[in-house]
Amino acid sequence: MPYNHPLKKLEIPNLGGSLDLEIARLTVLERRKIERAGGLFVERVHELENFERVLDIMSGTGTWTLKVAQMYPEIEVVGLERVCLLMDYASGQAEARKLGNVCYFPLGEDPTKLAFPNNAFDLVNVNYLFVLLHPHEWPLFFQECLRITRPGGYIRVFEQDWGITNSPAIEKMAELFLRGLQKAHLGLSPNGRYIGVLPFLSSFLRRAGWIAIQRRAMIDDYLKGPGMPNNSEQAINLMTNVMRTLTIQQDMATPEEYEELLAQAVIDLEREDFCSCLLSVAFWARKPASI
């Protein structure tokens, strides 16, 4: 029997007028991800040349899809997103830029069943699935991605683990969130100390039938730097948009306890000696040409 997915229908809350700021933050972070990766699909010698259709799953504010559509007008670009506000924003951006080769659809209730025919895409680009997939769904998801990718086509998966800081309050919030994630049957950590997806991805891809699997790690700042507001309280509130809901929902802390942690986290973030880092990994693989 499938688990209830506590984050699947979660919308971005409006934190006292900060919805625009959250969209701006996500857009900058998505741009930063492309820059850090070195391009749209830098792992392939000619990136997206000679592709006809590409799919972006968990497309966010549409930064990657819009850039693909603009740079490659001959390619049909499709984005799937679970958060309606983000999907609507990306669609509005495509319309404003007069990009007729990109469209967005809601990600269905069951991400292991994608509403596309066999061999439909040259590339399936995937982002941040840890808030979406339960442990048993990961292999099924990558099998479904294989089905909708043409023989010889590609998959590209971008995932991360949680950021590391020298703030006791931020680390405590992360601990509570990660334990709540485990309680909600999300993530792959056996003890709730981390998200735990990164060690498994190569195995999941291989078991699903993908070949020529490779990966590349990237290190970046966390909570400070590109994509984050200069105001420490805004930065912490934006970080906890999803964390707060899941933590309290899974009875990891009371609302009052969480507010105390938030206040201390703001103080910690403003310290001159605050330090942090974030690990992200890009995985890519091919579908066998003979399938």
Who wins on pLDDT, 79 or 131?
A: 79
Who wins on pLDDT, 109 or 3?
A: 109
Strand 211-220 relative to strand 276-286: parallel, antiparallel, unpaired? antiparallel
pLDDT, tens only, 207-236:
999 999 999 999 888 888 776 778 898 888
Q: Which two tokens stand for residue 119?
A: 């061999």
Task: Tell me the average pLDDT of the chain.
Answer: 88
Residue 291's pLDDT is what? 65
Residue 105's pLDDT is what? 96
Residue 173's pLDDT is what? 95
Check whether 1 has a pLDDT greater than 50: no
Confidence bin at 85 (pLDDT 50/70/90)? confident
Residue 35's pLDDT is what? 83
Residue 153's pLDDT is what? 98
Strand 276-286 relative to strand 164-165: parallel, antiparallel, unpaired? antiparallel
Check whether 115 has a pLDDT greater than 60: yes
Q: Which two tokens stand for residue 48?
A: 């997206």
Residue 227's pLDDT is what? 65
- Which residues are 279's β-sheet partners? 219
Residue type, 262: L
Confidence bin at 270 (pLDDT 50/70/90)? very high
Question: What percentage of residues in the chain have a pLDDT greater than 70?
Answer: 91
Q: Please, are residues 268 and 146 in contact by the beta-carbon 8 Å criterion? A: no
Residue 77's pLDDT is what? 98
Rg (CA), the chain: 19
Instruction: Give the residue-averaged pLDDT of 165-184.
Output: 94
Residue with tokens 């808030």: 131
Instruction: Give the residue-averaged pLDDT of 101-106.
Output: 97
pLDDT, tens only, 8-38:
444 444 333 345 666 877 787 788 888 878 8
Residue 94's pLDDT is what? 97
CATH number of 19-286: 3.40.50.150
Residue 63's pLDDT is what? 95
Given phi > 0 = left and psi -120 to 50 = alpha, else beta, which region is 263?
A: alpha
pLDDT, tens only, 36-65:
788 999 899 899 999 999 999 999 999 999
Q: Please, are residues 74 and 51 in contact by the beta-carbon 8 Å criterion? A: no
